[in-house]
Structure 1
Amino acid sequence: MSADTELVIAIDIGTTSTKTLAVGLTGQILGSHSIEYPLHTPSPGYAEQDPDVICEAVIDSVSKVMRNGGFRAQDIRCVAFSSANHSLILLDSKGRPLTPSITWADQRSAAQAERLMNDGSGLSVYSRTGTPIHPMSPLVKLIWLREERPDLFHSAHHFVGIKEYILNKLFGIMIMDHSIASATGLFNLETLTWDKEALILAGIREDQLPRLVPSTECIEGLSRETAERMGLGTDTTFIVGAQDGVLANLGIGAVEDGVLAVTIGTSGAVRTSVSRPTFDAEGKLFCYALTKDHWIVGGPSNNGAIVARWISDRLYPGKPIDEVLPLAGAVPPGSDGLLFLPLLSGERAPFWDAQAKGVMFGLTLAHTEPDMLRAAMEGVLFQITAIVSLMKQAGEKPREVRASGGFARSTIWCQMMADMLGVPVRVPESVESSGLGAAQLGLHAMDGCRGPLLRWKEMEGSLYGPDLTNHKLYQRLLPLYLSLYDRLKEPMREISKLQHASVGCRN
């Protein structure tokens, strides 16, 4: 087999779909296939998925890429994983799920999260694990399950996430990489072991969690049946991989000082690379592992492109979102005096408030649909800008943003971001950042982790420079925007109580 016929298969397990890429050894995408699956939200606060449906999507998407691309098993240098964070599945003694996959978006443990923050134990755990206290965290989910569903909790033999469930189905092993572990709230970043105090808080034992391995761990041993279904060999090497967020930084080259990665898909995040674990005094920024020499600091937002989709569907029903977003270009910065708090799914950074709600502020009879559309788009970016402000307070000095995710296809949204942040925004030719990052990590692992992380060709694509006049306006608006949340925080909590009460009445 010649080197120019080799490729990497990258499997990116996301919240709403799994996308598999075939990636050449110099970074070119040679094929891709995506399979969507539902997020079940039967009642407020729920956000669950069927783990077996996702496992089938992994197998099927690899099969489609292999078959459609005409690739042979012997062409594959390795298969590498990327995965969404914070999922939790309870397993019985035979590895069968006792629960659905409880995703990062599930809000049912909000009361437990608030209690941990109020009694001080939350900040203590954060200072060792780097995972902010929030219902997204498996630690907080475990406490909720122990208190609210003790029948399930005490019958569980193992607690895993979605990638670990799939690896167990494919290989019969129970392992978790350091990167996924660093987002559980249970993993000590200094010792690279399960944190004893966090385990006591959760009420679980170390032997109920997967064995910890580096993100570059190599595994083999697909069953013949599964290998044939996927179009691979039983001896194909798999790289355990990492979480999608840290791999997005790698995929778009944001692993150097002053370069921020901003990803806005369904949700959003801002991340930058540091050489050792770094913590925020208030526990508002995460610190997650990539490799032993690369750690990613930043903040996630619950409310990304899902907000644009929501307002597009309501203001312009039946019209494709790609046709809707450009309409915001006719509205001046500041949306004619409208501010929109896009907190439709509660919020993580910078507020870490599961009970936060959306607010359209400043409406008059003169406002139009495009005004409200632009206000919603600006609101998503105000959240991003507030996270960047936290990172500046922690000592980061951003000089450039690398953008990825669905929003990066919108020229208006990218220009808006450059204006708001006041730094250039670069969009690569391919926005498949997590998948490309997984492929790079896979090749790094196959090379025995010798030398620095693989860096593909210099970043290309579009560059958006900031309009400084617009930037000054946004700098004036940001404190007003943040003060709206501060003033409405308590009313948001009262509304949450009424919403929960009305759900109880319906049930």
Structure 2
Amino acid sequence: MPKTDGRVLALDLGTSSARALVLSPDASPVPGALARHKIAPTYGGRGEATIDLHDYIEGLLGCLDELQQNGHLTDISDIVLSSQWHSIVALAGTGQALTPVIPWVDTRSVPPTVDSSFDEHAFHARTGAWLHRLYWTRRIPWLRSVVSPSSYAGLPDLVLERLTSERVTSVSIASGTGTLDLATGSYDAEALAVAGVSESQLPAIVPTGWTGVLSSAFALRWPALAGVPIHPPTGDGAASNVGTGGYDETTAAVTVGTSAAVRVVHPIDGAPELPWELWRYRVDDRRAVTGMAFSAAGNLHAWLTAVLQLDAEHREPTGVEIGSSRVIGIPFQAGTRPPETVPGGSGAYFGLSFDDTAADLLAASLQGASLEIDRGLRMLDGLFGRDLQVVLGGGGIDASAWWRKCLTATFARPTEVCAEAEVGARGAAAVALGLSPSPGGESLKPVATDVERVAALRPRYESLRALAAQASAVLNT
């Protein structure tokens, strides 16, 4: 039976911030019970993107100190974690970190070494991943070429180890490494061979029902949390889906944070055959999540409003009709996710003229991102054999009424909006405790004239998208 008594402490390990917040028994945030540590990744000109591990963990611990100082760590029954997928740290034999945290956005890797018998389509069907630099099959050989690691772990594994003194991972986090056999929930032998590691060099995978407790030192630091069960972490994409209200195969959740994704949660048993264009990870011991991710979303909005120096009053393209802008924006600023190979620095605008305004540029970017997400939604419709219901969630959704309406018109179907912005934390609690949250926000219906304009725009967008991809190849030769 779902456990709903007591409050829940959620640790949300994001790319731009680490947060600790307290949730009520129904997984709703308790007002005022939120502490945040901002994260500033370090970027370099050769594709580098790193996060300081010590600063990250100490900042997260400071968030717990802040909650305790404000009296929020009382009556906590469970501790849950939602974490960014795909991160990796190379470790020495002593367990000391040899590298910073390498997050998904870092583009460094080495080409894969496989023999002629390797079947990447079969590999993708089994692991839900590709041989792409996003995954450990490419990351580990690259790390081994620059340092001499004894083992490897992701950010959530090391946070969990710091809290409990146990270095373990969940089936959800392990699936994001690209080294998991989705059907068995164990490391995939072929993936390990490609990466050149043994299972003993990676964190042990624990079942969904596993729990740990705080080490004695942290139990003294936060006495109210002593003995409180700590649940295995859930990958942020899976957590966000469930937290938004998309927790079965009838519903696609569209979440917009730093990046964006459209995903469907479904049972792992009897899962439909995975198309080459989509990825698949695990939610927990029973469920998988299938979808498509996009590198430009909330970060695109933040970048453009900063570049255009738009104040709070002008951060919406008010006055621009959805689908009507002459300008077409192709949101390849951060490249594309696999299996496409468009690199970062490939964003483009077509149709600019001297009478275009900041609102036109902003509308074109948000419309372009919406059309990208729509491509994934239509693939998922086909995979599950129906026009899926759609729920919208995440900080980007919460921040822009225009974008919510644009997405609804682009999808050409009604949408439900999640009332809670903290969908990752909410979803981690729901996965750990067996809850089924509802969106609880506004219901949107597409405006017929908006739908017609977007339908007319779509073929032009697709043609120019292909042209932008070709131009990126020229730019990067």
Same structural fold, with TM-score higher than 0.5 when normalized by the shorter chain: yes
Q: Residue 490 of structure 1 corresponds to which residue in structure 2? A: 470
**SS at structure 1 position matched to 2:476:** helix
The sequence identity of aligned pairs, in percent, is 26
Amino acid at match of 1:192: G
**SS at structure 2 position matched to 1:388:** helix
Distance 1:119 1:407 in 2: 44
Over residues 284-307 of structure 1, what are the superposed CA-to-partner deviations in whole Å (9 max), with x where a residue is unaligned? 211111123221111111111111
Q: Residue 436 of structure 2 corresponds to which residue in structure 1? A: 455
**SS at structure 1 position matched to 2:239:** helix
**Residues 46 and 131 (structure 1), Cα distance of their counterparts in 2 relative to 1, 3 Å cut:** same
Q: Residue 392 of structure 1 corresponds to which residue in structure 2? A: 381
1:416 aligned to which of 403, 406, 413: 406
Pairwise CA distance, 1:14: 0.4
Amino acid at match of 2:126: R
> In terms of mean alpha carbon deviation, does 476-485 or 382-391 score higher?
476-485
Counterpart contact for 1:218–1:240, Cα < 8 Å = yes
Pairwise CA distance, 1:268: 0.7
Q: Residue 332 of structure 2 corresponds to which residue in structure 1? A: 343
Q: Residue 89 of structure 2 corresponds to which residue in structure 1? A: 89
Distance 2:409 2:23 in 1: 34
Q: Residue 426 of structure 1 corresponds to which residue in structure 2? A: 416
**SS at structure 2 position matched to 1:379:** helix
Deviating 4+ runs (over 4 angstroms): 115-121, 277-282
Distance 2:99 2:322 in 1: 46
1:138 has 2:136 as partner:
yes
Q: Residue 234 of structure 1 corresponds to which residue in structure 2? A: 226
1:302 aligned to which of 285, 290, 295: 295
Pairwise CA distance, 1:271: 0.8
When you count helix as a share of all residues, which structure comes out higher? 1
The correspondence of residues 168-207 of structure 1 with structure 2, limited to 5 A, is: 168-207=161-200
Pairwise CA distance, 1:393: 3.3
1:440 has 2:430 as partner:
yes
Counterpart contact for 1:78–1:239, Cα < 8 Å = yes
Pairwise CA distance, 1:440: 2.0
Q: What TM-score results when the alignment is normalised by the length of structure 2?
A: 0.92
Distance 2:151 2:190 in 1: 19
1:366 has 2:351 as partner:
no
Q: Residue 262 of structure 2 corresponds to which residue in structure 1? A: 270
Amino acid at match of 1:47: A
Distance 2:363 2:202 in 1: 45
Q: Residue 354 of structure 1 corresponds to which residue in structure 2? A: 343
1:470 has 2:450 as partner:
yes
Distance 2:342 2:223 in 1: 45
Counterpart contact for 1:39–1:47, Cα < 8 Å = yes
Pairwise CA distance, 1:239: 0.6
Amino acid at match of 1:184: T
2:245 aligned to which of 253, 268, 278: 253
Amino acid at match of 2:305: S
Q: Residue 392 of structure 2 corresponds to which residue in structure 1? A: 403
Over residues 146-199 of structure 1, what are the superposed CA-to-partner deviations in whole Å (9 max), with x where a residue is unaligned? 4x42xx1xx211111001111222222221100011111111012211111111
Q: What TM-score results when the alignment is normalised by the length of structure 1?
A: 0.87
Q: Residue 375 of structure 1 corresponds to which residue in structure 2? A: 364
Aligned residues: 471
Counterpart contact for 1:349–1:387, Cα < 8 Å = no
**Residues 490 and 119 (structure 1), Cα distance of their counterparts in 2 relative to 1, 3 Å cut:** farther
Amino acid at match of 1:97: A
Distance 1:303 1:142 in 2: 26
Pairwise CA distance, 1:117: 13
Pairwise CA distance, 1:215: 3.3
Over residues 114-137 of structure 1, what are the superposed CA-to-partner deviations in whole Å (9 max), with x where a residue is unaligned? x88999644332121012443222
**SS at structure 1 position matched to 2:105:** coil
**SS at structure 2 position matched to 1:423:** coil
Counterpart contact for 2:140–2:195, Cα < 8 Å = yes
1:480 has 2:460 as partner:
yes
1:58 has 2:26 as partner:
no
**Residues 118 and 494 (structure 1), Cα distance of their counterparts in 2 relative to 1, 3 Å cut:** farther
The correspondence of residues 107-146 of structure 1 with structure 2, limited to 5 A, is: 107-109=107-109, 112=111, 121-146=119-144
Counterpart contact for 1:261–1:404, Cα < 8 Å = yes
Counterpart contact for 1:139–1:202, Cα < 8 Å = yes
Pairwise CA distance, 1:139: 1.8
Amino acid at match of 2:175: S
Distance 1:6 1:298 in 2: 33
Pairwise CA distance, 1:25: 1.1
